[in-house]
Amino acid sequence: MTEYSADEKMVLVQYAIKKYENEATLIEKLLSIISEKDIQRTIDTLIGTQKVRRIGPETLQNNESHTELPELPENLKPIIDQL
């Protein structure tokens, strides 16, 4: 498993949320890339900074009205495409 910086993990999770709003599906897809603990920690951080919002018990959504999605670095594009 490749080690990613905290910023890279946040970008990966935000783009994964854009693809899969269901939290269970999101975690399932990201497990091959990031540990479940890191996924949960990153989701909590994104919610705390209002970059992501929880809509219902299992649905996450990027808070694009509050903050824009960060630019996707070239090294992360293939990972997002494969999710």
How does pLDDT run along the chain (83 residues), one tens digit per residue?
678 999 999 999 999 999 999 999 999 999 999 999 999 999 999 999 999 999 988 999 999 887 889 999 999 999 999 98
Say how many domains are in the chain.
1
pTM score of the predicted model: 0.90
- The pLDDT value recorded for residue 11 is 95
Round to whole Å and give the CA distance between 65 and 27.
Answer: 24
Round to whole Å and give the CA distance between 74 and 43.
Answer: 22
Domain extent at residue 31: 6-64
Q: What per-residue string of b and e applies to 39-52 under the rule 16 or more CB within 10 Å gives b?
A: beebbeebeeeebb
Residue 50 lies in a domain: yes
- The pLDDT value recorded for residue 1 is 62
DSSP class of residue 65? T
- The pLDDT value recorded for residue 2 is 77
Residue 51 lies in a domain: yes
Residue 58 lies in a domain: yes
